[in-house]
Amino acid sequence: MSSPTPRTVTATRYPPVTSVHYELVPARRLSLDTVASRTGLHPELIRRFVALGLVDAERDAAGRLVFAPDAPAALGRVERLHTGLCLNYASIGLVLDLLDRINRLEAALRRSGARSDQPPWT
C-alpha cells in the first residue's frame, strides 16, 4: 500500500461582515393630543413637564412633540407624586432621579448575586 499523500489546507480569510439594521416598522410615537386624552392632563401642562424634564419627548419633522408609548405611565407617576406627597414639580424631578437610581442599584445588586442578612428597605 502506498502511504497517503498529505493534504495542505489553506485558510481562506473573508472580510469581516458588518451588520446592517433596517427598521422595518418605525417606533410608535404618541402625539401630544393622544397623551393628553389618555392622561386627562391639559396639553399645556404636559408641555411644562417636558420643559422641566419630568417626561421625555422628541420633535417630529413638523416640530410637534411626540412621545414614547410609556409616556402616559410616566405622567401618571408624576401626578401621583404631586397629589399623593404634595410635592412641587421641581422637587418631583429630584424624586424621580432618586427612584431611578435606586432601581438601577437594586438591579445591579440582584445581577451580582450579593445577599444580605438585612431585609430590603422597600
Strand ranges inside the chain, DSSP E: 30-31, 58-59, 65-67
Q: Which residues contact 47 (CB under 8 A, 6 or more apart)?
A: 32, 65
Task: Express as a percent the part of the chain with pLDDT over 70.
Answer: 70
Q: What pLDDT shows up at residue 4? A: 63
* Average pLDDT for the chain: 84
CA distance 115 to 119: 10
pTM of the model as a whole: 0.65
- Give 66-106 pLDDT, tens digit per residue: 999 999 999 999 999 999 999 898 899 999 999 999 999 99
Q: Provide mean pLDDT across the span 26-48.
A: 92
